[in-house]
């Protein structure tokens, strides 16, 4: 499930620490919400990478780095209907897509029958320890309650080989004193995050940030900056 495109409806501000989430209920709500709109979402998101050159460039750079490190398999977490998973394959990677929504996975399998797609979550990937060369989570963490980000990052580190690559993308919170802020995404409750806070959590989870891109919103997008954080599993 990807939350940046298509754009959610305009919203008022809503700052929150989001400490009261019922975890199981949050997962059920997100899954059922995306199941209900899967076909429409796939239609609206088709071609989204082609319309965003910088967003298209980052997965390509990620693929270059994974190949340079030895071309281990990669997982596209929150793959939705599979467009980015398919792009990773065209970039020379052995890519698998994972999504919480069974309806999204059905669409991805139908559109890309040569690729592997499975139902799963960011915090419980069906992957052996150290098996991956890369993990891409492009706008798929926005439905993760902020207090569960450390759990997701620990899972990403578990499945990555030493030195394995991670690429995150998410709507950025531009308040230097903020951590996370809820916004009224069309499908399910979503959050944008402080890049500095995310970088700290990554460091605590055993990653080193290798670059950072913060871009302005493009025409037709909601007025949030967009953050891209490449990192790698730090060992030793």
Tens of pLDDT, residues 132-187: 999 999 998 988 888 999 999 999 999 999 999 999 999 998 777 777 766 565 55
pLDDT tens readout for residues 187-231: 556 788 999 999 999 999 999 999 999 988 776 666 689 999 999
CA–CA distance, 156 with 163 (Å, rounded to integer):
12
pLDDT at 161: 96
pLDDT in tens, 13-66: 333 333 444 566 777 767 666 666 566 766 766 666 666 788 889 999 999 999
* Residue 115: predicted pLDDT: 98
Note the pLDDT of residue 79.
93
Report CA 131 to chain centroid distance, whole Å. Answer: 19
The set of residues, in sequence order, having a beta carbon less than 8 Å from that of 43 and lying 6+ positions away, is none
Gap between the Cα atoms of 218 and 140, Å rounded: 19
pLDDT at residue 3 is higher than 50: no
Torsion angle defined by CA atoms of residues 90, 124, 119 and 184, in that order, rounded to the nearest 10 degrees: -90
Compare 34 and 98 and report the one with higher pLDDT. 98
In this prediction, residue 218 carries a pLDDT of 73
Among the listed ranges 98-107, 120-129, 179-188, 196-205, which one has the minimum average pLDDT value? 179-188
- CATH annotation of 23-233: 3.40.50.150
């Amino acid at each position: 499930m990807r939350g940046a495109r298509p754009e959610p409806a305009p919203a008022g501000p809503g700052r929150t620490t989001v400490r009261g989430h019922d975890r199981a209920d949050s997962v059920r709500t997100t899954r059922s919400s995306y199941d209900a709109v899967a076909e429409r979402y796939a239609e609206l998101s088709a071609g989204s990478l082609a319309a965003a050159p910088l967003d298209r460039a980052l997965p390509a750079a990620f693929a270059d780095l994974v190949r340079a490190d030895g071309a281990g398999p990669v997982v596209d977490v929150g793959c939705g209907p599979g467009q980015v998973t398919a792009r990773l394959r065209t970039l020379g990677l052995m890519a698998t897509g994972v999504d919480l929504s069974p309806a999204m996975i059905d669409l991805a399998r139908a559109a890309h029958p040569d690729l592997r797609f499975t139902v799963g979550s960011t915090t419980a990937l069906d992957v052996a320890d150290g098996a991956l060369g890369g993990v891409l989570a492009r706008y798929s963490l926005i439905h993760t309650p902020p207090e569960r980000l450390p759990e997701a990052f620990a899972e990403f580190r578990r499945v990555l080989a030493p030195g394995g690559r991670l690429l995150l993308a998410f709507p950025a919170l531009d308040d230097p004193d903020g951590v996370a802020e809820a916004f009224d995404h069309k499908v399910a409750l979503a959050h944008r995050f402080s890049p500095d806070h995310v970088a700290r959590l990554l460091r605590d989870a055993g990653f080193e940030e290798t670059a950072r891109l913060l871009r302005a919103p493009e025409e037709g997008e909601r007025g949030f900056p967009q953050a891209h954080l490449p990192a790698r599993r730090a060992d030793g």
